[in-house]
């Protein structure tokens, strides 16, 4: 049998091996330490390290190297590639069946949330936002949950020149007002309130957290305010479902 050709790129393998050298016990390494870790000469390691530094994956202080923020981008791209709607489907269906209310899952896209899953309640008094719908993040519970995970500089970037068109007096009318709400949202870990967009609708939202600790998506339980109230049992059910989904991400 003919031997299959080996298309492995040794340079790429070595470069990836360098990135994997760093961990909580080795947050910084010298060139000689990197060379020893991947079993190459210092001159060979230097070529790989210089390339990784130029591409933004390593940073250097004096003669020591550490991972640069761009490495995190690889993790975010992986998380973004996950089919969150598929992972969330069964837990969301269980939450709907246990409570009788509709369950939605959304992700953040710029200053909007995009609905990626819906477990529809059979109740005639139902909150029903179709998959694919986009709503302004600042005026929705799931949007606020997701925005609460962003650094202040990122909020400033996303909302630069943004026009806060509030359909409810309860919705924040400026970025500064939004930031105050987000600080409390993050500390609380969930949001329970009446809708700023659909009067008469109430929802409870919690984050879906990736392995790096950042929010990947959000889940909410929603229904008519006559039936859905922010009691501790419902809040805990939403949070428990969010934790169960997060464990699978």
Query: What tens digit of pLDDT does each residue of 179-210 get?
Result: 999 999 999 999 998 877 777 788 999 999 98
User: Is the pLDDT reported for residue 123 higher than 90?
Assistant: no
CB atoms closer than 10 angstroms to residue 134: 14
User: Is the pLDDT reported for residue 91 higher than 90?
Assistant: yes
Residue 189 main-chain phi, psi, to 5 deg: 90, 0
Question: What is the rounded distance in angstroms from the CA atom of residue 34 to the CA atom of residue 58?
Answer: 12
Q: Whole-number mean pLDDT of the chain?
A: 87
User: Is the pLDDT reported for residue 64 higher than 80?
Assistant: yes
Fold of the 10-68 domain: Arc Repressor Mutant, subunit A (1.10.10)
Nearby residues of 184 by Cβ (< 8 Å), 6 or more positions away? none
Average pLDDT over residues 68-94: 76
User: Is the pLDDT reported for residue 67 higher than 70?
Assistant: yes
Sequence spans of domains, the chain:
10-68, 76-246
Average pLDDT over residues 98-111: 92
Residue 196 main-chain phi, psi, to 5 deg: -85, -10
Helix (H) or strand (E) holding 167: none
User: Is the pLDDT reported for residue 227 higher than 60?
Assistant: yes
Question: What is the rounded distance in angstroms from the CA atom of residue 195 to the CA atom of residue 136?
Answer: 12
Q: Who wins on pLDDT, 79 or 93?
A: 93
What is the model's pLDDT at position 80?
A: 55
User: Is the pLDDT reported for residue 100 higher than 80?
Assistant: yes
What is the model's pLDDT at position 75?
A: 62
Using only C-alpha atoms, the chain has a radius of gyration, in whole angstroms, of 23
- The correct answer on CATH 3.30.450.40 for the domain covering 76-246 is yes
What is the total residue count of the chain? Answer: 249
Q: Please, which pLDDT band fits residue 238 given cuts at 50, 70 and 90?
A: very high
Average pLDDT over residues 104-127: 86
Question: What is the rounded distance in angstroms from the CA atom of residue 199 to the CA atom of residue 127?
Answer: 11
Question: What is the rounded distance in angstroms from the CA atom of residue 85 to the CA atom of residue 55?
Answer: 33
**Exposed (0-12), middle (13-18) or buried (19+): which is 244, by Cβ within 10 Å?**
middle
Beta bridge partners of 147: none
Task: Determine if the pTM surpasses 0.75.
Answer: no
Q: Please, which pLDDT band fits residue 6 given cuts at 50, 70 and 90?
A: confident
């Amino acid at each position: 049998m003919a031997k299959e050709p080996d298309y492995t790129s040794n340079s790429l393998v070595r470069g990836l091996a360098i990135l994997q050298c760093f961990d909580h016990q080795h947050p910084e390494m010298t060139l000689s330490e990197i060379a020893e870790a991947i079993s190459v000469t210092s001159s060979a390691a230097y070529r790989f390290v210089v390339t990784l530094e130029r591409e933004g994956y390593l940073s250097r202080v004096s003669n020591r190297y550490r991972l640069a923020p761009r490495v995190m981008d690889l993790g975010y791209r992986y998380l973004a590639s996950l089919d969150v709607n598929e992972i969330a489907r069964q837990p969301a269906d269980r939450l709907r069946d246990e409570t009788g209310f509709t369950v939605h899952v959304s992700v953040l896209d710029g200053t909007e949330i995009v609905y990626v899953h819906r477990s529809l309640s059979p109740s005639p008094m139902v909150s029903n936002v179709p998959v694919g719908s986009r709503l302004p993040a600042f005026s929705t519970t799931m949007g606020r949950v997701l925005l609460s995970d962003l650094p202040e500089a990122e909020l400033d970037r996303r909302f630069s020149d943004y026009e806060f068109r509030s359909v409810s007096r309860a919705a924040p009318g400026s970025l500064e007002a939004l930031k105050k709400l987000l600080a409390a949202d993050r500390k609380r870990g969930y949001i329970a309130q009446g809708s700023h967009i659909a009067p008469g609708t109430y929802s409870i939202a919690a984050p879906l957290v990736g392995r790096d600790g950042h929010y990947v998506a959000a889940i909410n339980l929603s229904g008519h305010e006559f039936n859905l109230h922010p009691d501790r049992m419902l809040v805990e059910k939403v949070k428990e479902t969010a934790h169960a989904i997060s464990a699978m991400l």
